[in-house]
Amino acid sequence: MPPSTPLREAHPAERAAGIDHYVSDADGIGGRLRESPEDFRVRELEAFEPEPLGADPGSYPELVVRVTLRDWDTNDFARRISDALQISRERVSWAGTKDKRAVTTQLFTLREVDPDDLPEIRGAEIEPLGRAGRGLSFGDLAGNAFEIRVAETVPEAPERVADAVSDLRAFGGDGGKATVSGPDGIDAAAVGVPNYFGQQRFGSRRPVTHRVGLAVVREDFREAVRLYAGNPAETEPDDTRAARDRVDAAFDTDGDWEACLDAIPGKLRFERSMVHRLAERGVAPDAPPDGEDWRHALEAVPSNLQRLFVNAAQSFLFNRIVSERLRRGLPFDRPVAGDVVCFADGDAPDELYAPDTDRLQRVDEDRVSVVTRHCERGRAFVTAPLVGTETELGDGEPGEIEREILAAAGVEPGDFALPGEFDSSGTRRAILLRSDLDVTFDDGDPRFAFALPSGSYATVLLREFTKSGPLDL
Protein backbone atom coordinates (compact mmCIF):
# COMPACT_ATOMS: atom_id res chain seq x y z
CA MET A 1 0.00 0.00 0.00
CA PRO A 2 1.49 3.42 -0.93
CA PRO A 3 2.02 6.00 1.83
CA SER A 4 -0.99 8.18 2.65
CA THR A 5 0.94 11.41 1.94
CA PRO A 6 3.66 12.04 -0.65
CA LEU A 7 7.19 11.57 0.63
CA ARG A 8 9.59 14.50 0.69
CA GLU A 9 12.14 14.07 -2.11
CA ALA A 10 15.82 13.70 -1.23
CA HIS A 11 18.67 15.89 -2.45
CA PRO A 12 19.73 15.10 -6.06
CA ALA A 13 23.16 13.85 -4.94
CA GLU A 14 21.47 11.45 -2.52
CA ARG A 15 19.15 10.15 -5.22
CA ALA A 16 22.23 9.32 -7.31
CA ALA A 17 23.26 7.02 -4.42
CA GLY A 18 19.86 5.33 -4.27
CA ILE A 19 18.41 7.45 -1.43
CA ASP A 20 15.15 8.78 -2.86
CA HIS A 21 13.20 10.30 0.05
CA TYR A 22 13.11 11.54 3.62
CA VAL A 23 10.97 9.80 6.24
CA SER A 24 10.17 13.01 8.09
CA ASP A 25 8.17 15.73 6.38
CA ALA A 26 9.31 18.34 8.95
CA ASP A 27 11.14 21.36 7.55
CA GLY A 28 14.90 21.28 7.93
CA ILE A 29 16.97 23.13 10.49
CA GLY A 30 19.84 23.77 8.03
CA GLY A 31 23.12 24.53 9.74
CA ARG A 32 26.66 23.22 9.42
CA LEU A 33 28.55 20.32 10.95
CA ARG A 34 32.12 20.37 12.24
CA GLU A 35 32.47 24.11 12.85
CA SER A 36 35.13 22.84 15.25
CA PRO A 37 36.37 19.30 15.99
CA GLU A 38 34.57 19.44 19.35
CA ASP A 39 31.25 19.69 17.49
CA PHE A 40 31.61 16.09 16.29
CA ARG A 41 32.51 13.62 19.05
CA VAL A 42 32.68 9.87 18.44
CA ARG A 43 33.38 7.21 21.08
CA GLU A 44 33.79 3.57 20.13
CA LEU A 45 31.58 1.06 21.90
CA GLU A 46 34.20 -1.54 22.59
CA ALA A 47 33.75 -5.30 22.18
CA PHE A 48 37.33 -6.16 23.10
CA GLU A 49 38.44 -7.22 26.59
CA PRO A 50 42.20 -6.87 27.18
CA GLU A 51 44.23 -8.74 29.78
CA PRO A 52 45.86 -6.68 32.58
CA LEU A 53 48.90 -4.58 31.74
CA GLY A 54 51.02 -6.96 33.80
CA ALA A 55 50.16 -9.96 31.58
CA ASP A 56 53.06 -11.86 30.04
CA PRO A 57 54.17 -10.01 26.84
CA GLY A 58 55.28 -13.33 25.38
CA SER A 59 51.74 -14.68 25.44
CA TYR A 60 50.08 -11.26 24.97
CA PRO A 61 52.36 -9.27 22.65
CA GLU A 62 49.79 -6.56 21.79
CA LEU A 63 49.63 -3.43 23.95
CA VAL A 64 46.03 -2.16 24.04
CA VAL A 65 45.67 1.63 24.31
CA ARG A 66 42.67 3.93 24.34
CA VAL A 67 43.37 7.03 22.27
CA THR A 68 41.42 10.28 22.10
CA LEU A 69 42.28 12.22 18.95
CA ARG A 70 41.49 15.82 18.04
CA ASP A 71 41.55 16.65 14.33
CA TRP A 72 43.45 13.47 13.38
CA ASP A 73 42.70 11.10 10.52
CA THR A 74 43.00 7.52 11.84
CA ASN A 75 45.46 6.39 9.15
CA ASP A 76 47.59 9.51 9.62
CA PHE A 77 47.74 8.91 13.38
CA ALA A 78 48.74 5.27 12.83
CA ARG A 79 51.67 6.43 10.68
CA ARG A 80 52.60 9.10 13.23
CA ILE A 81 52.68 6.76 16.24
CA SER A 82 54.55 4.05 14.32
CA ASP A 83 57.18 6.64 13.33
CA ALA A 84 57.44 7.86 16.93
CA LEU A 85 57.86 4.29 18.20
CA GLN A 86 60.18 3.42 15.29
CA ILE A 87 58.10 0.37 14.42
CA SER A 88 56.47 -0.85 11.22
CA ARG A 89 53.04 0.59 10.43
CA GLU A 90 51.89 -3.06 10.21
CA ARG A 91 52.29 -3.33 14.01
CA VAL A 92 49.52 -0.76 14.59
CA SER A 93 45.91 -2.00 14.42
CA TRP A 94 42.45 -0.59 15.12
CA ALA A 95 38.82 -1.60 14.66
CA GLY A 96 37.20 1.40 12.97
CA THR A 97 38.42 4.34 10.87
CA LYS A 98 37.18 7.72 12.07
CA ASP A 99 36.76 11.13 10.43
CA LYS A 100 39.48 13.73 10.84
CA ARG A 101 37.45 16.84 11.73
CA ALA A 102 36.27 15.41 15.05
CA VAL A 103 37.19 14.38 18.57
CA THR A 104 37.34 10.59 18.53
CA THR A 105 37.99 7.97 21.21
CA GLN A 106 38.95 4.47 20.14
CA LEU A 107 41.22 1.51 20.85
CA PHE A 108 44.51 0.71 19.12
CA THR A 109 46.80 -2.29 19.54
CA LEU A 110 50.58 -1.88 19.27
CA ARG A 111 52.50 -5.10 18.77
CA GLU A 112 55.58 -5.62 20.96
CA VAL A 113 55.45 -2.15 22.52
CA ASP A 114 56.09 -1.38 26.20
CA PRO A 115 53.77 1.11 27.97
CA ASP A 116 56.80 3.14 29.11
CA ASP A 117 57.72 3.76 25.46
CA LEU A 118 54.44 5.45 24.52
CA PRO A 119 55.17 8.86 22.94
CA GLU A 120 53.55 12.21 23.48
CA ILE A 121 51.78 13.31 20.29
CA ARG A 122 50.10 16.67 19.79
CA GLY A 123 46.31 16.35 19.65
CA ALA A 124 46.36 12.81 21.07
CA GLU A 125 45.71 11.44 24.56
CA ILE A 126 47.09 7.89 24.82
CA GLU A 127 46.06 5.69 27.75
CA PRO A 128 47.47 2.16 28.14
CA LEU A 129 44.72 -0.31 29.10
CA GLY A 130 46.16 -3.81 28.98
CA ARG A 131 47.57 -6.51 26.72
CA ALA A 132 46.07 -8.89 24.13
CA GLY A 133 47.09 -11.97 22.21
CA ARG A 134 46.04 -10.52 18.84
CA GLY A 135 45.62 -7.17 17.16
CA LEU A 136 42.30 -5.39 16.74
CA SER A 137 40.17 -5.95 13.63
CA PHE A 138 36.90 -4.56 12.29
CA GLY A 139 34.89 -7.32 13.95
CA ASP A 140 35.92 -5.97 17.36
CA LEU A 141 33.88 -2.80 16.85
CA ALA A 142 30.33 -3.10 18.22
CA GLY A 143 29.34 0.44 17.35
CA ASN A 144 29.89 4.13 18.03
CA ALA A 145 28.36 6.70 20.36
CA PHE A 146 28.01 10.16 18.84
CA GLU A 147 27.58 13.65 20.23
CA ILE A 148 27.12 16.09 17.35
CA ARG A 149 26.35 19.80 17.38
CA VAL A 150 24.75 21.38 14.31
CA ALA A 151 25.82 25.04 14.20
CA GLU A 152 24.05 28.06 12.72
CA THR A 153 20.63 26.47 12.52
CA VAL A 154 17.39 28.37 11.88
CA PRO A 155 15.64 30.11 14.83
CA GLU A 156 12.79 27.58 14.61
CA ALA A 157 15.19 24.68 15.20
CA PRO A 158 13.65 23.45 18.52
CA GLU A 159 10.16 23.13 17.04
CA ARG A 160 11.42 21.58 13.80
CA VAL A 161 13.56 19.08 15.67
CA ALA A 162 10.54 18.12 17.78
CA ASP A 163 8.42 17.61 14.66
CA ALA A 164 11.09 15.44 13.03
CA VAL A 165 11.55 13.38 16.20
CA SER A 166 7.81 12.67 16.31
CA ASP A 167 7.92 11.46 12.69
CA LEU A 168 10.96 9.26 13.35
CA ARG A 169 9.48 7.78 16.52
CA ALA A 170 6.41 6.74 14.56
CA PHE A 171 8.54 5.30 11.75
CA GLY A 172 10.66 3.32 14.21
CA GLY A 173 7.60 1.81 15.83
CA ASP A 174 7.50 3.92 19.02
CA GLY A 175 4.67 6.20 17.93
CA GLY A 176 5.00 8.81 20.69
CA LYS A 177 5.11 12.56 20.19
CA ALA A 178 8.23 14.54 20.97
CA THR A 179 7.64 17.51 23.23
CA VAL A 180 9.73 20.65 23.45
CA SER A 181 10.71 21.04 27.08
CA GLY A 182 11.98 24.56 26.67
CA PRO A 183 15.36 25.84 25.45
CA ASP A 184 17.30 23.08 27.19
CA GLY A 185 16.16 20.06 25.25
CA ILE A 186 13.60 17.66 23.85
CA ASP A 187 12.14 14.59 25.50
CA ALA A 188 12.53 11.75 23.01
CA ALA A 189 12.60 7.96 22.99
CA ALA A 190 13.57 5.49 20.29
CA VAL A 191 13.69 6.90 16.77
CA GLY A 192 14.06 5.04 13.50
CA VAL A 193 15.27 5.85 9.99
CA PRO A 194 15.98 3.70 6.93
CA ASN A 195 19.39 2.09 7.40
CA TYR A 196 20.80 3.61 4.22
CA PHE A 197 24.46 3.59 3.32
CA GLY A 198 25.50 7.23 3.58
CA GLN A 199 27.00 9.34 0.83
CA GLN A 200 30.52 8.67 2.13
CA ARG A 201 30.18 5.10 0.86
CA PHE A 202 30.02 6.33 -2.74
CA GLY A 203 32.14 9.49 -2.64
CA SER A 204 30.72 12.78 -1.39
CA ARG A 205 32.13 15.04 -4.11
CA ARG A 206 32.32 12.48 -6.90
CA PRO A 207 29.91 9.59 -6.20
CA VAL A 208 31.33 7.04 -8.61
CA THR A 209 32.50 3.95 -6.69
CA HIS A 210 29.14 2.16 -7.03
CA ARG A 211 29.03 2.84 -10.77
CA VAL A 212 32.52 1.35 -11.11
CA GLY A 213 31.37 -1.64 -9.06
CA LEU A 214 28.27 -2.21 -11.18
CA ALA A 215 30.44 -2.18 -14.30
CA VAL A 216 32.70 -4.77 -12.67
CA VAL A 217 29.72 -6.99 -11.79
CA ARG A 218 28.64 -6.81 -15.45
CA GLU A 219 32.28 -7.71 -16.33
CA ASP A 220 32.64 -4.50 -18.31
CA PHE A 221 36.13 -3.74 -17.04
CA ARG A 222 36.69 -1.18 -19.79
CA GLU A 223 33.80 0.94 -18.52
CA ALA A 224 34.93 0.47 -14.92
CA VAL A 225 38.36 1.95 -15.76
CA ARG A 226 36.80 4.79 -17.75
CA LEU A 227 34.38 5.68 -14.95
CA TYR A 228 37.17 5.82 -12.39
CA ALA A 229 39.98 7.45 -14.38
CA GLY A 230 37.83 9.62 -16.67
CA ASN A 231 34.26 10.79 -16.09
CA PRO A 232 34.84 14.31 -14.63
CA ALA A 233 32.54 15.80 -11.98
CA GLU A 234 31.54 19.46 -11.77
CA THR A 235 32.64 19.59 -8.13
CA GLU A 236 36.29 18.82 -8.98
CA PRO A 237 39.11 21.36 -9.51
CA ASP A 238 39.82 22.56 -13.04
CA ASP A 239 43.05 20.55 -13.44
CA THR A 240 41.35 17.33 -12.36
CA ARG A 241 38.41 17.84 -14.72
CA ALA A 242 40.78 18.58 -17.60
CA ALA A 243 42.74 15.39 -16.91
CA ARG A 244 39.61 13.28 -16.82
CA ASP A 245 38.40 14.90 -20.05
CA ARG A 246 41.69 13.82 -21.67
CA VAL A 247 41.18 10.26 -20.45
CA ASP A 248 37.65 10.22 -21.88
CA ALA A 249 39.06 11.42 -25.22
CA ALA A 250 41.53 8.55 -25.22
CA PHE A 251 38.70 6.09 -24.66
CA ASP A 252 36.54 7.69 -27.33
CA THR A 253 39.13 8.28 -30.06
CA ASP A 254 42.93 8.06 -30.00
CA GLY A 255 43.96 5.71 -27.17
CA ASP A 256 46.92 7.99 -26.43
CA TRP A 257 47.56 6.88 -22.85
CA GLU A 258 50.93 8.67 -22.70
CA ALA A 259 49.19 11.98 -23.35
CA CYS A 260 46.79 11.09 -20.53
CA LEU A 261 49.69 10.50 -18.16
CA ASP A 262 51.07 13.94 -19.06
CA ALA A 263 47.68 15.45 -18.17
CA ILE A 264 46.89 13.57 -14.94
CA PRO A 265 48.23 15.39 -11.84
CA GLY A 266 50.21 13.43 -9.27
CA LYS A 267 47.44 13.76 -6.67
CA LEU A 268 45.34 11.33 -8.76
CA ARG A 269 47.78 8.52 -8.07
CA PHE A 270 45.33 5.63 -8.52
CA GLU A 271 44.13 7.03 -11.84
CA ARG A 272 47.73 7.41 -12.96
CA SER A 273 48.43 3.80 -11.97
CA MET A 274 45.50 2.54 -14.05
CA VAL A 275 46.43 4.55 -17.12
CA HIS A 276 50.11 3.61 -16.77
CA ARG A 277 49.14 -0.05 -17.11
CA LEU A 278 47.12 0.76 -20.23
CA ALA A 279 50.13 2.58 -21.70
CA GLU A 280 52.51 -0.27 -20.80
CA ARG A 281 50.42 -2.78 -22.72
CA GLY A 282 49.36 -0.41 -25.50
CA VAL A 283 45.70 -1.31 -24.96
CA ALA A 284 43.48 -0.31 -27.88
CA PRO A 285 40.43 1.74 -26.82
CA ASP A 286 38.15 -0.65 -28.70
CA ALA A 287 39.57 -3.81 -27.06
CA PRO A 288 36.84 -6.19 -25.76
CA PRO A 289 35.36 -4.66 -22.58
CA ASP A 290 35.69 -7.88 -20.60
CA GLY A 291 39.31 -8.33 -21.63
CA GLU A 292 42.16 -9.15 -19.25
CA ASP A 293 44.02 -5.92 -20.13
CA TRP A 294 41.23 -3.73 -18.78
CA ARG A 295 40.98 -5.82 -15.60
CA HIS A 296 44.77 -5.62 -15.19
CA ALA A 297 44.48 -1.80 -15.30
CA LEU A 298 41.65 -1.76 -12.74
CA GLU A 299 43.68 -3.96 -10.42
CA ALA A 300 46.37 -1.26 -10.23
CA VAL A 301 44.50 0.12 -7.20
CA PRO A 302 44.96 -1.44 -3.71
CA SER A 303 42.98 -4.59 -2.93
CA ASN A 304 40.81 -2.82 -0.36
CA LEU A 305 39.68 -0.33 -3.02
CA GLN A 306 38.95 -3.18 -5.43
CA ARG A 307 36.67 -4.69 -2.78
CA LEU A 308 35.14 -1.28 -2.12
CA PHE A 309 34.00 -0.99 -5.75
CA VAL A 310 31.87 -4.13 -5.44
CA ASN A 311 30.79 -3.29 -1.88
CA ALA A 312 29.59 0.12 -3.10
CA ALA A 313 27.59 -1.54 -5.88
CA GLN A 314 25.95 -3.81 -3.28
CA SER A 315 25.28 -0.76 -1.08
CA PHE A 316 23.68 1.16 -3.95
CA LEU A 317 21.37 -1.76 -4.75
CA PHE A 318 20.48 -2.03 -1.06
CA ASN A 319 19.63 1.68 -0.95
CA ARG A 320 17.45 1.30 -4.05
CA ILE A 321 15.60 -1.67 -2.52
CA VAL A 322 15.03 0.24 0.73
CA SER A 323 13.86 3.34 -1.16
CA GLU A 324 11.35 1.30 -3.14
CA ARG A 325 10.02 -0.32 0.03
CA LEU A 326 9.61 3.15 1.52
CA ARG A 327 7.84 4.41 -1.62
CA ARG A 328 5.40 1.50 -1.50
CA GLY A 329 4.59 2.15 2.14
CA LEU A 330 5.71 -1.23 3.45
CA PRO A 331 6.64 -1.19 7.16
CA PHE A 332 10.24 -1.09 8.33
CA ASP A 333 9.68 -1.88 12.01
CA ARG A 334 7.85 -5.17 11.39
CA PRO A 335 7.72 -7.83 8.66
CA VAL A 336 5.24 -8.68 5.96
CA ALA A 337 4.90 -12.12 4.43
CA GLY A 338 7.97 -12.89 2.32
CA ASP A 339 10.44 -10.88 4.41
CA VAL A 340 13.69 -12.26 5.80
CA VAL A 341 14.48 -11.18 9.36
CA CYS A 342 17.57 -11.41 11.50
CA PHE A 343 17.73 -11.56 15.28
CA ALA A 344 19.34 -9.22 17.78
CA ASP A 345 22.97 -9.53 18.78
CA GLY A 346 22.79 -10.61 22.41
CA ASP A 347 26.42 -9.61 23.03
CA ALA A 348 25.99 -5.99 21.89
CA PRO A 349 26.41 -3.13 24.40
CA ASP A 350 23.23 -1.96 26.12
CA GLU A 351 23.21 1.33 24.15
CA LEU A 352 22.71 -0.44 20.82
CA TYR A 353 19.88 -1.89 18.81
CA ALA A 354 22.28 -4.28 17.11
CA PRO A 355 21.23 -6.90 14.52
CA ASP A 356 23.07 -10.19 14.00
CA THR A 357 22.78 -10.99 10.29
CA ASP A 358 24.27 -14.46 10.78
CA ARG A 359 20.92 -15.52 12.28
CA LEU A 360 18.26 -15.28 9.57
CA GLN A 361 14.68 -16.54 9.26
CA ARG A 362 12.12 -16.33 6.46
CA VAL A 363 8.70 -15.05 7.42
CA ASP A 364 5.70 -16.78 5.89
CA GLU A 365 2.08 -15.69 6.35
CA ASP A 366 1.63 -17.93 9.41
CA ARG A 367 4.56 -16.39 11.28
CA VAL A 368 4.04 -12.68 10.62
CA SER A 369 2.31 -12.00 13.94
CA VAL A 370 4.89 -13.95 16.00
CA VAL A 371 7.87 -12.26 14.34
CA THR A 372 6.16 -8.87 14.64
CA ARG A 373 6.16 -9.30 18.42
CA HIS A 374 9.88 -10.08 18.33
CA CYS A 375 10.46 -6.89 16.30
CA GLU A 376 8.38 -4.82 18.73
CA ARG A 377 10.61 -6.02 21.59
CA GLY A 378 13.83 -5.27 19.72
CA ARG A 379 14.64 -8.97 19.29
CA ALA A 380 14.37 -9.13 15.49
CA PHE A 381 14.91 -6.86 12.46
CA VAL A 382 13.63 -6.92 8.90
CA THR A 383 16.48 -7.21 6.36
CA ALA A 384 17.24 -6.57 2.70
CA PRO A 385 20.09 -8.12 0.70
CA LEU A 386 23.61 -6.96 0.07
CA VAL A 387 23.57 -9.08 -3.05
CA GLY A 388 26.25 -11.70 -3.68
CA THR A 389 26.63 -15.22 -4.99
CA GLU A 390 25.00 -16.84 -1.94
CA THR A 391 22.07 -14.41 -1.70
CA GLU A 392 18.63 -15.95 -1.49
CA LEU A 393 16.07 -13.27 -2.31
CA GLY A 394 12.87 -12.75 -0.34
CA ASP A 395 9.39 -13.91 -1.24
CA GLY A 396 6.12 -12.04 -1.71
CA GLU A 397 6.23 -8.28 -2.24
CA PRO A 398 9.67 -7.83 -0.58
CA GLY A 399 11.13 -10.40 -2.99
CA GLU A 400 9.36 -8.70 -5.89
CA ILE A 401 11.05 -5.41 -4.97
CA GLU A 402 14.45 -7.07 -4.72
CA ARG A 403 14.12 -8.74 -8.13
CA GLU A 404 12.84 -5.58 -9.82
CA ILE A 405 15.78 -3.50 -8.53
CA LEU A 406 18.32 -6.11 -9.63
CA ALA A 407 16.68 -6.47 -13.04
CA ALA A 408 16.74 -2.68 -13.53
CA ALA A 409 20.47 -2.68 -12.75
CA GLY A 410 21.07 -5.60 -15.10
CA VAL A 411 22.61 -7.88 -12.46
CA GLU A 412 21.73 -11.05 -10.59
CA PRO A 413 23.34 -12.84 -7.61
CA GLY A 414 25.42 -15.18 -9.75
CA ASP A 415 27.14 -12.20 -11.41
CA PHE A 416 29.12 -11.62 -8.21
CA ALA A 417 31.22 -14.74 -8.89
CA LEU A 418 34.14 -12.56 -10.01
CA PRO A 419 37.92 -12.90 -10.24
CA GLY A 420 40.28 -11.91 -7.45
CA GLU A 421 39.21 -9.28 -4.91
CA PHE A 422 35.99 -8.50 -6.79
CA ASP A 423 34.25 -11.75 -5.75
CA SER A 424 31.52 -11.48 -3.08
CA SER A 425 29.19 -13.99 -1.47
CA GLY A 426 26.90 -11.24 -0.11
CA THR A 427 24.98 -10.94 3.15
CA ARG A 428 21.87 -9.19 4.46
CA ARG A 429 21.45 -5.94 6.39
CA ALA A 430 18.74 -4.59 8.68
CA ILE A 431 16.57 -2.03 6.90
CA LEU A 432 15.66 -0.08 10.06
CA LEU A 433 18.26 1.91 11.98
CA ARG A 434 17.02 2.52 15.53
CA SER A 435 18.59 4.55 18.28
CA ASP A 436 17.68 6.25 21.54
CA LEU A 437 18.13 9.93 20.69
CA ASP A 438 18.79 12.70 23.19
CA VAL A 439 18.69 16.33 22.03
CA THR A 440 19.88 19.36 23.96
CA PHE A 441 20.32 22.95 22.79
CA ASP A 442 23.57 24.88 22.91
CA ASP A 443 22.96 28.63 22.37
CA GLY A 444 19.97 27.71 20.24
CA ASP A 445 21.76 25.05 18.19
CA PRO A 446 20.87 21.38 18.72
CA ARG A 447 23.32 18.80 20.02
CA PHE A 448 22.34 15.23 19.12
CA ALA A 449 23.51 12.26 21.22
CA PHE A 450 22.90 8.71 20.01
CA ALA A 451 24.61 5.35 19.42
CA LEU A 452 24.70 3.28 16.23
CA PRO A 453 25.95 -0.23 15.42
CA SER A 454 29.08 -0.54 13.31
CA GLY A 455 28.47 -0.06 9.62
CA SER A 456 25.67 2.48 10.10
CA TYR A 457 25.99 6.18 9.34
CA ALA A 458 25.37 9.12 11.65
CA THR A 459 24.63 11.34 8.63
CA VAL A 460 21.70 9.08 7.68
CA LEU A 461 20.01 10.13 10.94
CA LEU A 462 21.10 13.78 10.85
CA ARG A 463 19.88 14.36 7.27
CA GLU A 464 16.31 13.91 8.49
CA PHE A 465 16.78 17.00 10.66
CA THR A 466 18.92 19.26 8.48
CA LYS A 467 17.33 18.49 5.06
CA SER A 468 20.67 19.63 3.61
CA GLY A 469 22.77 18.21 0.81
CA PRO A 470 25.49 15.60 1.50
CA LEU A 471 28.33 18.10 1.21
CA ASP A 472 26.81 20.09 4.09
CA LEU A 473 26.96 16.99 6.29
Task: Cite the beta strand spans of 154-233 per DSSP E.
Answer: 179-180, 185-187, 190-194
CA distances from 463 to 31, 153, 180, 394, 469 (A): 11, 13, 20, 29, 8
Measured distance CA(165)–CA(360) in Å, rounded: 30
Is the separation of the CB atoms in 68 and 125 below 8 Å?
Answer: yes
Measured distance CA(144)–CA(43) in Å, rounded: 6
Q: Is 248 a catalytic residue?
A: no
Measured distance CA(85)–CA(6) in Å, rounded: 58
Measured distance CA(152)–CA(28) in Å, rounded: 12
CA distances from 100 to 104, 119, 168, 236, 462 (A): 9, 20, 29, 21, 18
Choose, from 27, 73, 99, 220, the residue flagged as catalytic.
99
Terminus-to-terminus CA distance in the chain, angstroms? Answer: 32
Give residue 463's identity as a one-letter amino acid code. Answer: R
Sign (positive/negative) of CA torsion 463, 466, 467, 473? negative
**Virtual CA dihedral for 249, 252, 256, 257, nearest 10 degrees?**
80
Task: Cite the beta strand spans of 28-115 per DSSP E.
Answer: 40-46, 62-70, 92-94, 103-111
CB-CB neighbours of 442 under 10 Å:
12
Measured distance CA(445)–CA(439) in Å, rounded: 10
How is residue 102 annotated by DSSP? S
CB-CB neighbours of 112 under 10 Å:
11
List residues with catalytic annotation: 99
